[in-house]
Amino acid sequence: TAVGLPRKHESAELHVLGQATYTDDILEVQGTLHAALGLSAKAHAKFSTIDLTAVRASRGVVAVYTAGDIPGTNDCGPIIHDDPIFADGLVQYVGQPLFVVVADTHDNARRAARLAKVDYDELPAVLTPQAARAAQSYVLPPMKLARGDAQAAFERAPHRVQGELHVGGQEQFYLEGQIAYAIPKEGSGMLVQCSTQHPSEMQHVVAHALGLHSHHVTVECRRMGGGFGGKESQSALWCAASAIAAHKLKRPVKLRADRDDDMLVTGKRHCFHYLYEVGYDDSGKIVAAKVDMVSRAGYSADLSGPVATRAVCHFDNTYYLSDVDIRAACGKTNTQSNTAFRGFGGPQGAIAIEYVIDDIARNLGKDALDIRKLNFYGKTDHNVTPYGQIVVDNVIHELVAQLEESSEYRARRTAIAQFNAGSPVLKKGLALTPVKFGIAFNVTHLNQAGALVHVYVDGSVLVNHGGTEMGQGINTKVMQCVAHELGVDFARVRVSATDTSKVANTSATAASTGADLNGKAAQDAARQIRDRLAAFAATKHGGAAADVRFADDIVYVNGMEIDFPQLVQQAYLARVQLWSDGFYATPGLHWDPKTMTGNPFSYFAYGAAVSEVVVDTLTGEWKLLRAGVLYDAGNSLNPAIDIGQVEGAFIQGMGWLTTEELWWNAGGKLMTHAPSTYKIPAISDCPEDFRVQLFKNRNVADSIHRSKAVGEPPLLLPFSVFFAIRDAVAAVGDNTVNPPLNAPATCEEILKAVCAVQAQAAHKA
Ligand code: MTE
Ligand code: LUZ
Ligand code: MOS
């Protein structure tokens, strides 16, 4: 079987040899020009004209296009369509594109882009989600999900905790930046080669911008050097701008953002601000939970609605909350329009309840793990989420028990207490946190995928599917599925670039559903070919079609063994169709956005992690000493790739919660727009002792080979790092004071929390 083996990534050799082709590596067509964007210098301002004289006169410049030059619609936003390609009379954030300049070289285009003169008429700017909430300024109507009577239950509760929390955003920091290369074709055709998670959306945006139909536009993406959600919708601007220029000039135009522009222009993970009020009993059981979250949506809606919805639907995490009131609003701010980022609001929803549980544990003088376990969803009762979906596959009890034991959690807890008692400056902390993550797009219709499988006469197989490769290994997994279905060697199968002219109307490769959806679609296509081959084999060689078996590159028919290519050759001569399309739509999903109830998810993926840190309480510096992870990938399609995904997501999530800080100045300019000021984790931040294991399980849902998705859920595992830091900080006092720690827990933030705990401890004494 090809499925379930720990195969290396299909492009592993190309990656390490530097031979994998990214968009910028594609050989340039003769006559290619290079573009750059001119950006707004103000956060919120009106303007009437842009003086482009100096831009036009700059060396190598061929043309400049502004909003008025767009042949079709000036829009590159998903869902709500409130994102102009080029600002038209109004700028809403520092970095908003005003125009595209095309020159002979990349450097000449960039130099020219800075020479525009704009007469801004400044307007007041809203720069934080809290300010947006105060002004009731939202990009979408606020949402609410309630069950029971949270207010009454809160008032009756034996104990109450209330507080606020701020969790910062995060730059996707894909290694390959945004890029699009538009090549005009005959008869108004346009080919756009680009780095995108969503080729069909790019096709639509380019068609609309050019005033053409979808059939005029082909979008192709062989691979991305990472997307992480940042290329789900926001690759559109770059596609549209390059295509407009290419269409006007009838020349190929490449638009590659340099890192600073990429970070200034594009949206990031939403930061969230929370107000919470939770009631609990003496044992630590939550009896009432109220939370009011507001996100930083930025100046437009983009995907902020579905992100907030996922935050609402992940506030419960692994816990049964009888009486809840969850509110979420998407604050309109004069900053980049925030977008998808691995987890898509799920991490932001779940961290709030984890913070509350951490508070409760300290208030009761108990271990937070015990409070967590006490509140877990039940297996047969207390198993309905606030949005009405029944948790039918709950494995969190056994998963956490296994990790607790294998990590020697209790013994380490004791050892850490002893260490801290004898160590006034260095304090250690420990935390074990669980994850439950709903798998499916929470916008139901997006849960569909298509594939095309070709078996050529020589027995080689070419697969094209609607998913995109961003390093996560979707192609490897789909190849495994097809090889399995046809019973052929893995080496017989190849995947070609994602191409809107091959598979139409695809969804973004997102919501961790890439392999689930496209694996099923490719399986469907391969199965049809296999069935045709089986029918043909039985006709030609005798026996029943149902008894024909395909395995190990051999076809077993009526007691005979025929090599796969040989049977293919025979079938071709007999005029059997050797290629097929395939399609899949996830069954059983429904969602009512008005009541925020339904069955939005196909199933849940689970995991848990335990982290141990040491914090220098004089400097706020810290180190992750050891981390252990148990992740439920179901019947994993590829354990090597899945473990890689878990490790990557863990470290990426750790960066979000600790070192990665987005900082805007008083004028609304993002000052952390390069790695010099924005600190992503480095290899030296990875724990020396890092144990990642997959939990033995099988999906109860009929997913592809009973596997479970792995892309996003592990991003929530490093909650354990954040709460281990908070645990260490609490040890500065007597472990009863809740450190007011916001994320990211930078050294500065940790020191502030240390001082707050010391001040409270002094006050008590
Ligand atoms: N892994 C790598 N190497 N690069 C990426 O950009 N994106 C993540 C995750 N893992 C990403 C990644 C995100 S945000 C998602 S939604 C999933 O991969 C998408 O791919 P999948 O659905 O095929 O798992
Ligand atoms: N929903 C979701 C979405 O759960 N994940 C996504 O990535 C997404 N993207 C667009 C719309 N809804
Ligand atoms: Mo992933 S945030 O759903 O692209």
The secondary structure of 14-51, three-state, reads HHHHCCCCCHHHCCCCCCCEEEEEEECCCCCEECCCEE
Cα 345 to averaged position of ligand 2 atoms, centre (Å): 10
Band (pLDDT 50/70/90 cuts) for residue 761 is confident
CB 589 within 8 Å of CB 440: yes
Q: Is the CB of 514 under 6 A from ligand 2?
A: no
3-state secondary structure of 130: helix
CB 181 within 8 Å of CB 34: no
Conformation bin of residue 762: beta by default, left when phi > 0, alpha when psi is -120 to 50: alpha
Dihedral of alpha carbons 471, 307, 685, 335, sign: positive
Q: Is the CB of 442 under 6 A from ligand 2?
A: yes
DSSP bridge partners of 428 = 614
Q: Is the CB of 184 under 6 A from ligand 3?
A: no
Whole-number mean pLDDT of the chain? 98
Query: Cα(349)–Cα(716) distance, rounded to whole angstroms?
Result: 10
Q: Is the CB of 303 under 6 A from ligand 2?
A: yes
State which of 79, 201, 446, 470 you would mutate to test the pocket of ligand 2, scoring each by most atoms of that ligand within 8 A of its C-beta: 446
Per-residue pLDDT tens digits for 10-54: 999 999 999 999 999 999 999 999 999 999 999 999 999 999 999
- Ligand 3 nearest atom to the CA of residue 512, by list position: 3
Q: Which residues neighbour 467 within 8 Å (Cβ) at sequence distance 6 or greater?
A: 449, 474, 475, 478, 498, 506, 509, 514, 515, 517, 518
One-character DSSP codes across 51-84: E-HHHHHSTTEEEEEEGGG-SS-----STT----
Per-residue pLDDT tens digits for 133-170: 999 999 999 999 999 999 999 999 999 999 999 999 99
Mean pLDDT of 558-574: 98
Structure tokens at 332: 């309109």
Among 558, 562, 583, 581, which Cα is nearest to 571's? 562
Q: Which residues of 695-715 are buried (b: 16+ CB within 10 A; e: fewer)?
A: bebebebebbbbbbbbbbbbb
712 flagged as catalytic: yes
CB 656 within 8 Å of CB 680: no
> Which ligand is located closest to the Cα atom of residue 227?
1
Per-residue pLDDT tens digits for 540-559: 999 999 999 999 999 999 99
Residues within a 6 A CB radius of ligand 1: 226-229, 342, 467, 470-472, 474, 509-515, 645, 648, 711-712
Q: What letter represents residue 463's amino acid?
A: V
Name all domains of the chain by residue range, CATH numbers in brackets: 32-123+178-256 (3.90.1170.50), 126-168+269-378 (3.30.365.10), 394-439+603-765 (3.30.365.10), 448-585 (3.30.365.10)
> Which ligand is located closest to the Cα atom of residue 307?
2
Q: If you search the block for the tokens 């892309």, which residue do you land on?
A: 711
pLDDT recorded at residue 1: 67
Query: How many Cβ atoms from other residues are within 10 Å of residue 736's Cβ?
Result: 14
Q: Alpha helix locations (H) across 313-465? A: 346-364, 368-375, 396-406, 409-421
What is the ipTM score, two decimals?
A: 0.98
Cα 106 to averaged position of ligand 1 atoms, centre (Å): 30
pLDDT recorded at residue 58: 98
Cα 345 to averaged position of ligand 3 atoms, centre (Å): 10
Q: If you search the block for the tokens 């198993």, which residue do you land on?
A: 383
Q: What letter represents residue 124's amino acid?
A: P
Q: What percent of the chain has pLDDT over 70?
A: 100
Query: Cα(533)–Cα(564) distance, rounded to whole angstroms?
Result: 10
One-character DSSP codes across 268-305: -BPPEEEEEEEEE-TT--EEEEEEEEEEEEESS-TTHH
Band (pLDDT 50/70/90 cuts) for residue 586 is very high
Q: Is the CB of 299 under 6 A from ligand 2?
A: no
Is residue 349 over pLDDT 80? yes
pLDDT recorded at residue 765: 77
State which of 196, 303, 512, 596 you would mutate to test the pocket of ligand 2, scoring each by most atoms of that ligand within 8 A of its C-beta: 303
Mean pLDDT of 663-690: 97
Q: Is the CB of 511 under 6 A from ligand 2?
A: yes
Angle at 361 between CA 359 and CA 364, to 5 degrees: 110
- Ligand 1 nearest atom to the CA of residue 649, by list position: 10
Query: Cα(466)–Cα(196) distance, rounded to whole angstroms?
Result: 12
Mean pLDDT of 750-762: 95
Q: Is the CB of 510 under 6 A from ligand 3?
A: yes
CB 678 within 8 Å of CB 171: yes
At residue 403, φ and ψ (nearest 5 deg) are -70, -40
Is residue 443 over pLDDT 80? yes
Cα 310 to averaged position of ligand 2 atoms, centre (Å): 8
Chain-centroid distance of CA 88 in Å reads 31
Mean pLDDT of 509-522: 98
Conformation bin of residue 298: beta by default, left when phi > 0, alpha when psi is -120 to 50: left
Per-residue pLDDT tens digits for 215-231: 999 999 999 999 999 99
> Which ligand is located closest to the Cα atom of residue 645?
1
Query: Cα(619)–Cα(691) distance, rounded to whole angstroms?
Result: 28
Per-residue pLDDT tens digits for 599-625: 999 999 999 999 999 999 999 999 999
Element holding 580 (H helix, E strand): strand 579-585
One-character DSSP codes across 703-747: -GGGB---SSGGGGTTHHHHHHHHHHHHTTTTS-S-----BS--H
3-state secondary structure of 355: helix
Cα 340 to averaged position of ligand 2 atoms, centre (Å): 8
Nearest Cα residue to atom 18 of ligand 1: 711
pLDDT recorded at residue 415: 98
What's the order of all strands across the beta sheet hosting 121-122? 90-91, 45-46, 121-122
Structure tokens at 521: 């679609």
> Which ligand is located closest to the Cα atom of residue 514?
1
State which of 235, 477, 512 you would mutate to test the pocket of ligand 1, scoring each by most atoms of that ligand within 8 A of its C-beta: 512
Q: Which residues neighbour 270 within 8 Å (Cβ) at sequence distance 6 or greater?
A: 169, 295, 296, 297, 304, 307, 330, 338, 341, 345, 348
Band (pLDDT 50/70/90 cuts) for residue 656 is very high
pLDDT recorded at residue 136: 96
Nearest Cα residue to atom 1 of ligand 1: 472
Query: How many Cβ atoms from other residues are within 10 Å of residue 390's Cβ?
Result: 11
Per-residue pLDDT tens digits for 239-252: 999 999 999 999 99
Query: Cα(365)–Cα(354) distance, rounded to whole angstroms?
Result: 16
Q: Which residues neighbour 148 within 8 Å (Cβ) at sequence distance 6 or greater?
A: 322, 323, 324
Q: Which residues neighbour 280 within 8 Å (Cβ) at sequence distance 6 or greater?
A: 157, 158, 159, 160, 161, 286, 287, 360
Is residue 305 over pLDDT 80? yes
Cα 509 to averaged position of ligand 2 atoms, centre (Å): 9
pLDDT recorded at residue 735: 92
Q: What percent of the chain has pLDDT over 90?
A: 99
DSSP bridge partners of 722 = none
Band (pLDDT 50/70/90 cuts) for residue 764 is confident
Q: If you search the block for the tokens 């779940």, which residue do you land on?
A: 350
Query: Cα(188)–Cα(548) distance, rounded to whole angstroms?
Result: 49
State which of 228, 235, 448, 708 you would mutate to test the pocket of ligand 1, scoring each by most atoms of that ligand within 8 A of its C-beta: 228
Q: Is the CB of 232 under 6 A from ligand 3?
A: yes
Is residue 763 over pLDDT 90? no
pLDDT recorded at residue 126: 98
CB 334 within 8 Å of CB 43: yes
- For residue 746, CA distances in Å to 660, 675, 735 come to 8, 16, 21
- Ligand 1 nearest atom to the CA of residue 513, by list position: 22
Mean pLDDT of 667-693: 97
pLDDT recorded at residue 74: 98
Of the candidates 155, 712, 748, 749, the residue annotated as catalytic is 712
End-to-end CA distance of the chain: 67
CB 94 within 8 Å of CB 42: yes
Mean pLDDT of 624-653: 98
Q: Is the peptide bond before 744 cis (omega within 30 degrees of 0)?
A: yes
Length of the chain in terms of residues written? 765
Look at strands 272-280 and 33-39 and give their pairing. Answer: unpaired
CB 219 within 8 Å of CB 500: yes
What's the order of all strands across the beta sheet hosting 493-495? 493-495, 461-465, 448-455, 579-585
Mean pLDDT of 116-122: 98
Cα 149 to averaged position of ligand 3 atoms, centre (Å): 34
Cα 197 to averaged position of ligand 2 atoms, centre (Å): 12
